[in-house]
Amino acid sequence: MTGETSLSAGIVLPLRIGTRASPLALRQAEAVRAALMQAWPDLAAPDATEIVPLRTTGDRITDRPLAEIGGKGLFAKELEHALLAGQIDIAVHSMKDMETWLPDGLAIAAMLPREDPRDVLIAGQAKTIADLPEGAVIGSASVRRRMQLLALRPDLKMTLLRGNVGTRLDKIAAGEADATLLALAGLRRLGRDDVGTPIAVETLLPAVGQGAVGVEIVTAAEGLMELMAAIDDAATSARVRAERAYLAVLDGSCHTPIAGLAELEGEDGARFRGLIGMPDGSQVWRAERSGAAGDLLAMAEDTGRELRVAAGEDFAALLAADA
């Protein structure tokens, strides 16, 4: 969208765009800045915007699972503190890294068009999960990926593998594990979609919000909601809102193996698929709904409720262990 009006009087320039300092996060922040410059010509002026990289706790501590050090929200915490303290004006996030509930006074005001949400298997000559050799060692920090892999292949061995995309690719090349899985969206944004093989969502259901980039703001900040509305992709926002509503029904956290994907189909159709399971892959529960696009949010919440009932005491015990 090309902007035809001037910025609100409440917008003070330069607009400070907060982001994690990883190469992928910086690419995503630049994509948000480019979208804003196209929508609002005033922001295309020299020095009208500023990228502010912040190193988060999740980036600093890479030798332990996120679940042990505070959860995936550690990738967003410092950015949210900076927002509330007025040190940045907006924060750019990978939506799959966002906690289920945002801090009071903050909101996701826009999302860029969603990239392909699939996972990619990086495993040398192996192109599918079935191709992996018996007892192959898989490097991953994702409880969702680990659960689904073990459900498919109980013989696989899991080891912790964290770090940014480049770091994880280097670790696989160095032989620290036989294979790993990364989000296709991140590889594409970094120009590395030449590595690995995408895995169909029917085989490996993605994380909630995977492939989507969101912009968080302070709700009380004058003019920012209007500013962000100009770059919001309505289809992406509808899908990710539904996925996050499903996550909320399940009381999901980074400890809990949960996958979910909302899709818009045809002119006015939608589909929601959800999956939960025990961390060791010994039990997996699936549910899905199809219907009208306008009912997507309700479909997502209903899927979450069905899965909670289906898993019963087993999943309740898992949630209690996370608390």
| Catalytic residue set | 97
Measured CA to CA, the distance from residue 22 to residue 58 in angstroms comes to 11
Measured CA to CA, the distance from residue 17 to residue 238 in angstroms comes to 24
Q: Following DSSP, what letter does each residue of 193-250 receive, concatenated?
A: TTSSEEE-TTTSPPPTTTT-EEEEEETTSTTHHHHHHTT--HHHHHHHHHHHHHHHHT
Measured CA to CA, the distance from residue 106 to residue 103 in angstroms comes to 6
Under 8 Å between Cβ of 200 and 148: no
Alpha-carbon Rg for the chain in angstroms? 20
Closest CA relative to residue 89, chosen from 39, 43, 22: 43
Q: How many CB atoms lie within 10 A of CB 47?
A: 7
Phi, psi of 74 (to 5 degrees): -65, -15
Residue the block writes with tokens 């630049």: 30
